[in-house]
Amino acid sequence: MNNKDNTIVSLENVTISYKSQPAVKNVYLDIPKSKVTALIGPSGCGKSTVLRAINRMNDLIEGCTLKGRVLFDGIDLYDKDIDPVEVRRRIGMVFQQPNPFPKSIYENIAFGARINGYSGDMDELVELSLRQAAVWDECKDKLNDSGVSLSGGQQQRLCIARTIAIQPEIILMDEPCSALDPISTLKIEETIHELKKDFTIVIVTHNMQQALRVSDMTAFYNAEQEEGTSGGKVGYLVEFNKTEEIFNSPCQKATQDYVSGRFG
């Protein structure tokens, strides 16, 4: 860990369980600042679970518990006196399914900013956020239309804009393109490239090409049957490295198999 200075979030021996059934075990992960980190791995290995642990979204799920530490700028996010609302304000999230509010496009952006105490020029913020998320041109003439009236790809970029507008330090994205066509996907990837100048991004993706195209670092997760139990599979981190390393010369055989598509 020679680049500790650049680490913004670090997971230390994190184990997350749903109702005492562990979903991922003993994860150590140092997410570098101002880079794009991709989380890849087979379905059900706990990528979303890990991602949601970073901004305490898992708190909303009953029975979900976390052991270990998640440090953000050296502060343990699961400390007793940390307010999860504050955490989510500093670590924004874009979900797998586009989920704009059933409000106007303008309100979709303004709502989060307002509850976060933004007091500047709202029109300006709305325009800037939509521009940054590369959806301004499609929205500028219908800011008062419902956010739900946009196409799926536009909705997802609206959701990105909404997250940008609260000015978080990190943006978490859980398979942001899985519900989108290739063109919208490319647009979102371009957006990610732009955003990386200002934000740290962690993205979960099932698309190897996408991980290659957008990410600087890649973490590969896998899941396997717990020894000596009859329970479900438990996920763990296999390998975490620069994206080129993971794709070109991985250390682990499982990684090699997965990235080359030879995986069960």
Partner 1 sequence: MVAFVLIGIGLVVFTGSIESMGRYGIKFLFTSDWNPVTDQYGAFTAIYGTLVTSITSITIALPLGVGTALFITEKILPKLVRETIGIMVELLAAIPSVVLGLWAMFIMEPFIRPFLSGLNNNFGWIPFFSSRPGGPGIAPAILILVVMILPIITSIARDSLNQVPSRLREAAYGVGATRWNAIFNVILPAAISGITGGVLLALGRAMGETMAVTMIIGNSNNFNFSLLSPGNTISSMLASQFGEADGSQVSSLMYAAFILMIITLIVNIIAQWMVLKLKLKY
* Chosen residue from 2, 4, 19, 60 binding partner 1 by CB under 8 A: 60
44 interacts with, out of Mg ion, ligand ATP, partner 1, none, CB within 5 to 8 A per kind = ligand ATP
Count of CB atoms situated within 10 Å of the CB of 51: 20
Within residues 148-187, the interface with partner 1 by CB under 8 A covers 148-149, 159, 162-163, 166
* Chosen residue from 9, 14, 23, 159 binding ligand ATP by CB under 6 A: 23
Phi/psi of residue 206, each to 5°? -100, -5
Count of CB atoms situated within 10 Å of the CB of 237: 22
HSE, side-chain direction, 13 A CA sphere, residue 189 = 19
Is there binding between residue 112 and partner 1 (CB under 8 A)?
A: yes
Residue recorded with tokens 């590369």: 134
Locate 61 and state its tokens: 């799920």
Is there binding between residue 191 and Mg ion (CB under 5 A)?
A: no
68 interacts with, out of Mg ion, partner 1, ligand ATP, none, CB within 5 to 8 A per kind = none
Smaller CB separation from Mg ion, 48 or 185: 48
Q: CB under 5 A: which stretch of 2-10, 47-55, 110-118, 231-239 binds Mg ion?
A: 47-55
Smaller CB separation from partner 1, 38 or 57: 57
Burial of 49: CB neighbours in 10 Å, binned 0-12, 13-18, 19+: buried
* Torsion angle, alpha carbons of 106, 135, 176, 261, to 10: 180
Is there binding between residue 136 and ligand ATP (CB under 6 A)?
A: no
Locate 41 and state its tokens: 């791995």
Assess contact for 177 and 205: CB atoms under 8 A: yes
Give the whole-angstrom CA distance, residue 90 versus residue 192. 18
Q: What is the DSSP letter of 173?
A: E
Give the whole-angstrom CA distance, residue 164 versus residue 131. 10
Total interface residues for Mg ion by CB under 5 A: 1
* Chosen residue from 72, 78, 95, 247 binding partner 1 by CB under 8 A: 95
62 interacts with, out of partner 1, ligand ATP, Mg ion, none, CB within 5 to 8 A per kind = partner 1
Locate 33 and state its tokens: 């600042």
Where does this chain bind ligand ATP (CB under 6 A)? 18, 23, 43-49, 61, 232
Where does this chain bind Mg ion (CB under 5 A)? 48
Where does this chain bind partner 1 (CB under 8 A)? 55, 57, 60, 62, 85-86, 88-89, 92-93, 95, 97, 99-102, 111-112, 115-116, 146, 148-149, 159, 162-163, 166
